[in-house]
Amino acid sequence: MIVGIDIGGTKIAVAGFAGGPGGSVRRVTAVHTRPTPAREGGEAIVRAVADAVAMVAGTAEITAAGVGTAGVVGADGGIASATDAIRGWAGFPLRAALGHALGVPPAVVNDVHAAAVAEAAAGAGRGARGLLMVTVGTGIGGAVVLPDGLRTGVTGTAGSVGHTELALPTALADRRCGCGAIGHVEAVASGPALEQTYRERTGVALPLREVDAAARAGDPVASEVIAEGARFLGRALAGAQAVLDVEVVAVGGGVAAIGERYLDEVARAYRAAAMPGPAVARVRPAELGIDATLTGAALLAVS
């Protein structure tokens, strides 16, 4: 059995896959989930993953394993850097620790990188000449898949569209990104950033789903906050595409779940800012949802 593993700050998910023709995979078990013991550190997470894998695999032999994880993954499969959502995650030797626990050395990449592999193979980017994927949620993550495979970069940070610097209006120019920098698109277009903008403009603190509901009900401030965030993202994607020039740009994550009007605004801003060639790229919603990271991890395990 091939095992796909997704390690997030709040949840661990594991599923079993079987190999198919041409290096494809198909899921053959239900997805098993459990809370991430994030406050207990890396060793506790490895134990939780191993227990979850045992629940999924039963008596089946594990022939390969792949992991999509929170954090930046170095060339050695360890966590090169991470937020404090998981205690002590930065510097943890994840590939080595999981290889010892599972009996097979796993492929380990960032979770968005894994999701992009799946979207390129079987989702929004299938059949395309290259995919740029961005996920917009608590933060903004990204990944690049070219026709010959995933590009993680020298330091594991390839595709980090959220850390693109933008020229911002004065009212937003001092917004600080989660990485500490000022002027990054994540600071003005992520879910928490949109909530902050709405709060600053109305004096009312609402979660994003309620800002979205207000926009749907005709609140002009809520509508503009969401549209503005989409425009910022579109501009950042246009800058990335000046370098990459891939055929498909896929947008996923919790903010993208707002739906068609958000994605249409992203696409309009993208085309307005992009060079004439890359402007024709298809801007599409990601298709695979919560299965993407698991599927991509399994694909990487057998590639």
* Nearest to 81, CA basis, from 160, 164, 19, 16: 160
Asked whether residue 28 is domain-assigned, the answer is yes
Asked whether residue 23 is domain-assigned, the answer is yes
Tokens standing for residue 246: 């891939």
Based on the domain organization, do 61 and 151 belong to the same domain? no
Domain range holding 104? 2-116+291-302
Based on the domain organization, do 97 and 158 belong to the same domain? no
Based on the domain organization, do 104 and 62 belong to the same domain? yes
User: 145 forms bridges with which residues in the sheet?
Assistant: 131, 150
Based on the domain organization, do 180 and 230 belong to the same domain? yes
Based on the domain organization, do 277 and 164 belong to the same domain? yes
Strand ranges in 168-290 using DSSP code E only, listed in sequence order: 248-252, 282-285
Which of the four pLDDT bands, split at 50, 70 and 90, describes residue 290? confident
Based on the domain organization, do 186 and 38 belong to the same domain? no
What pTM does this model have?
0.95
Based on the domain organization, do 146 and 212 belong to the same domain? yes
Which of the four pLDDT bands, split at 50, 70 and 90, describes residue 147? very high
Based on the domain organization, do 86 and 204 belong to the same domain? no
Based on the domain organization, do 148 and 240 belong to the same domain? yes
Tokens standing for residue 299: 């694909």
Asked whether residue 121 is domain-assigned, the answer is no
Based on the domain organization, do 134 and 256 belong to the same domain? yes
pLDDT exceeds cutoff 90 at 22:
no
pLDDT exceeds cutoff 90 at 172:
yes
CATH number of the structural domain spanning residue 197:
3.30.420.40
- Please state, as a whole number, how many other Cβ atoms lie within 10 Å of the Cβ of residue 200: 11
Total number of domains in the chain: 2
Helix, strand or coil, per DSSP, at residue 200: helix
Angstrom CA distances, 297 to 66, 67, 127, stand at 4, 5, 19
Asked whether residue 274 is domain-assigned, the answer is yes
Q: How far, in Å, CA of 105 to CA of 100, rounded?
A: 8
Helix, strand or coil, per DSSP, at residue 11: strand
Asked whether residue 226 is domain-assigned, the answer is yes
Asked whether residue 266 is domain-assigned, the answer is yes
- The pLDDT tens digits of the residues spanning 218-271 come to 999 999 999 999 999 999 999 999 999 999 999 999 999 999 999 999 999 999
Based on the domain organization, do 199 and 221 belong to the same domain? yes
Contact 99, 139 (CB under 8 A): no
Mean pLDDT of the chain: 96
Task: Provide the pLDDT for residue 7.
Answer: 98
pLDDT exceeds cutoff 90 at 84:
no
Asked whether residue 122 is domain-assigned, the answer is no
Based on the domain organization, do 151 and 282 belong to the same domain? yes
